[in-house]
Amino acid sequence: MLKQIKKSNRRNFLKKSAATIPLPLFIPSSAFGANERINFAGIGMGGRGRGDLNSFLGFSEIQTLAVCDVVQSHAEQAKSAVDRRYGNNDCKTYVDYREIIMRDDIDAVLIATPDHWHAKIAIEAMTSGKDVFCEKPETLTIREGQMMRDTARRFGRVFSGGSQRVWGDYNWFHRMIYGGAIGEIKEAWVNVGGPSGECYLPPEPLPNGVDWNRWLGPAPWRPYHPALTRGGFRPF
């Protein structure tokens, strides 16, 4: 009975937080007692994933138990950060995300893999009873988004994603502008960033510690290039 109450408290808090705060930091301090921590794991520990992980490590209400990446060095760096935070060597590392999904002691996962993995991992995680924070873009297609939504509803899970365009501050500023707070808008400037990187990269030898087949997963096959595993997968 106590376990059910604890689960309910966590889930109620996550639902409220995920619905109101569109940030990866949706766990405020002092939300739970010491015995009500959310057991957490990170899947996809490249640069963005480790950045999110470091944010989650700042909350005493979260206990990170495991990290996963198909690039060994990424997983090792993430594990080092977790172990430093807790002063032990307990964080487990995995290459196959399914090993995290199968763990009954994990309540929630961060998904910061390349985009083509998001929907598959999120659906499997929610089906197994885990709540999800997923990096943007949450999906590649409308149909994937519908499937993720339906899975969250069917299994009663929390699904939250981060996207700066829906931050509360931006919405407030939008209301101020359209409410006439700064008068008539005469001109607007927009920065859309620079051109994307090269798409057709030449094949390079596959180094030790990189599981390229798992990196590709459901995506079409293409030869390995190191730029793709360093955050350059969007042009892919």
**Number of domains present in the structure of the chain:** 1
79 Cβ contact partners less than 8 Å away, ≥ 6 residues apart: 67, 91, 92, 93
130/126 Cα distance (integer angstroms): 5
Question: Is residue 54 in some structural domain?
Answer: yes
Q: Output the pLDDT for position 168.
A: 80
| Helix locations, 44-167, DSSP H | 47-56, 72-86, 97-101, 118-127, 142-155
Flag whether 64 is in a domain. Answer: yes
- Asked if the structure places residue 126 within a domain, the reply is yes
Per-residue tens of pLDDT for the chain, all 236 residues: 434 444 555 555 455 444 443 444 444 333 445 567 899 999 999 989 999 999 999 988 999 999 999 999 999 999 999 999 999 999 999 999 999 999 999 999 999 999 999 999 999 999 999 999 999 989 999 999 999 999 999 999 999 987 777 778 888 888 888 898 988 888 888 887 766 666 778 899 999 999 999 999 999 999 999 988 876 566 55
Segment (H or E) for 22 = none
Is residue 204 assigned to a domain?
Answer: no
Supply the DSSP symbol for 203. Answer: P
The domain of 63 spans: 2-165
Residue 169: predicted pLDDT:
84
> What distance in Å separates the CA atoms of residue 199 and residue 234, rounded to the nearest whole number?
9
Query: Is there a domain that residue 58 lies in?
Result: yes
- The residues, any chain, with a CB within 8 Å of residue 103's CB and separated by 6 or more, are 41, 65, 66
- The Cα–Cα gap between 48 and 131 comes to 19
Kindly state the DSSP code that residue 164 receives in the 8-state scheme: G
pLDDT recorded at residue 230: 79
Is position 73 within any domain?
yes
Q: What is the CATH number of the domain that holds 99?
A: 3.40.50.720
Per-residue confidence (pLDDT) for residue 72, from 0 to 100: 95
177 within a domain of the structure (yes/no): no
Q: 25 in a domain, yes or no?
A: yes
Q: Which amino acid is at 164?
A: Q
pLDDT of residue 233: 60
